[in-house]
Amino acid sequence: VLSGCGVYDGTEIHEASAILVHLSRGGAKVQMYAPDVPQMHVIDHSKGQPAEAESRNVLVESARIARGKIASLAKLTTADHDAVIFPGGFGAAKNLSTFAVDGKDCKVNKEVERVLKDFHKAGKPIGLCCISPVLAAKVLSGAEVTVGHEEEEGGKWPYAGTAGAIKELGGKHCVKEVTISFPVDFHVERQFTHVDTKNKVVTTPAFMCETELHHIFDGIGAMVKNVLKLTGK
């Protein structure tokens, strides 16, 4: 499920691409969706500032990542899919919800909420990375998720405050890494992904951390691997 195209006002493109690569490697068939709604605003990514008087549509922008093969989120049903995955990017907090503006008092797009609740009710796995775990924390009461660390640690975790917001939303936050730490866990992926086995919610910090791209890629791979494992196929 995409939220636009571009980290500051839509889907984080590297995260979406990493998810697609790992799903392809895992043998999964993929269909992409996005809500057919206007973006909260448009950011000029070369300046990091809003582009005044410009508006874009979330579905239309998401089609850039999907290479045109995308459908309205309203058409996504649990009957047609074994799992659902949400990349991060500020679009998750601006277009899929109002978290960027309202924090713990945020509202979630009605189709996003429907999809999360439907997959949860059907016992089908949900994967989320970066900022998108806030969606599960808001919609699925008591869900266990990770956005990494709970302290900024000198700027390494610039969005660490999100962990506190997750707790205020009613979720449980679990501290995880983006890179492998030592001593190495027997199951290495446990260090940078969290699996809530009760709710079948799998999360990883991704770009919540300032680190090298290959570490983001590996963490997302662990998330995708566990989502696929939970499908039982």
Those residues with Cβ within 8 angstroms of residue 197's Cβ, 6 or more apart along the chain or in another chain: none
What is the distance between the alpha carbons of residues 91 and 98, in angstroms, rounded to a whole number? 10
Torsion angle (degrees, nearest 10) of CA 69, 205, 123, 164: -130
Amino acid letter, 3: S
Give residue for tokens 């499908």. Answer: 231
Cβ–Cβ under 8 Å, residues 94 and 112: no
Asked if 5 is an active-site residue, the reply is no
Q: Which of 129, 130, 174, 209 is catalytic?
A: 130
Distance of CA 62 to the CA centre of its chain: 14
Q: Is cis: bond before 133, omega within 30 of 0? A: no
Angle at the Cα of 95 from the Cα atoms of 94 and 100, rounded to 5 degrees: 15
Q: Which residues are catalytic?
A: 130
